[in-house]
Amino acid sequence: MNNQNTSQGQRVIVANTEGGVGMAAAAQVLMAGGRGLDAIEAGIRPVELDPTVRSVGVGGWPNLLGEVELDALIMDGRSLKSGAVGALQGFLHPISVARQVMEQLPHVFLVGEGAARFAAEIGAEAGENRTDESRQQWAEWLARYVPADLIAAWPNVPLAPWARLTADPERAGGTTTFLVRDANADIAAGTSTCGWAMKYPGRLGDSPVIGAGGYADNRYGAAACTGHGELSIRAGTARSVVLYMKMGMTVQEACHEAADDLRRLVREFPAALTIHAIDASGAAYVVAIGKEPGTGWYWYWAEGMPSAEKRDAVEMQW
């Protein structure tokens, strides 16, 4: 199917591969006249609870300590207000905590213990994100790569060498991203992730970083990224896409220009990144860089469609 949609003024949702489980809930909010921010939250929450989505929430990849640390952001394209949390433990819906950071605090970004404290204050749903499967895979990873004497002392050993070992293109990055245009022509962006598998504790990728993992501006459009977040942090990719549209580029041209920026980065490890974008009218474009051929696709829904459909991303190599 065509990658780009050129219809004007519609309610639109674009989500990455992992977002499929939340598309119906997000569309329902929009068709009931709800705000884009509400659709973002409604769409991402089911993904956060789905243990088969290994890159987000419950069942997500643990860090080197066997802990699941969650990151999320949400951004309102009308006001440019945003909220984000990083390295959040013990709560099931980081997207909702990020939303309340935006709504209740004078801050934009909370991390670690502070994020967990705030989540408890607002009555966010607490819960265990580790599953038997994720615990087992963490233990199997240690047994496969770490000598027995170090496992006996784990985690009271230097972790940096093992973090470098986890630079695996199959598991290094993962996020769910939603971009929404509502009936009021307001645009919003949201992300949620557990991040890099077996990451160094406290690692933040691009997902909670406004301007890297996601950005929204009603005047021009929105963008969000999945994959190796270190790359989109270094290039400011989500904000760049929106700025290129501000400069007069189409959403397609803006994504390609941002891809060229990414190619300028020195890459120490194999990497892949996918840029999801919509313009102010809701026209969508998605480009996947460095992925295995045939694996780049996303979810698309616009009003009038009975359900979301899979669409192929434009695939590029480094």
- Residues recognised as catalytic: 175
Neighbouring CB atoms inside 10 A of 244's CB total 23
Please list the helix, strand and coil fractions of the chain in percent, rounded to the nearest 5, in that order: 35, 25, 45
Give the Cα separation of 18 and 103 in Å (integer).
Answer: 26
Tokens of 110: 């909370």
Indicate the SS3 state at residue 311.
Answer: strand
Q: Which helix (H) or strand (E) holds 283?
A: none
Q: Residue 103 region, left (φ>0) first, then alpha (ψ -120 to 50), else beta? A: alpha
Give the Cα separation of 63 and 58 in Å (integer).
Answer: 14
Tokens of 61: 């990849």
Starting at the earlier edge strand, list the strands of the sheet with 82-88.
109-111, 82-88, 70-76, 187-193, 176-181, 12-16, 297-302, 309-312
Omega of the bond prior to 293 within 30 degrees of 0, cis? Answer: no
Give the Cα separation of 168 and 133 in Å (integer).
Answer: 19
Give the Cα separation of 280 and 130 in Å (integer).
Answer: 39
Give the Cα separation of 20 and 56 in Å (integer).
Answer: 13
Give the Cα separation of 253 and 182 in Å (integer).
Answer: 24
φ, ψ for residue 50, nearest 5 deg? -90, 110
**Partners of 249 in beta bridges:** none
Kindly give the pairing relationship between strand 82-88 and strand 314-316.
unpaired
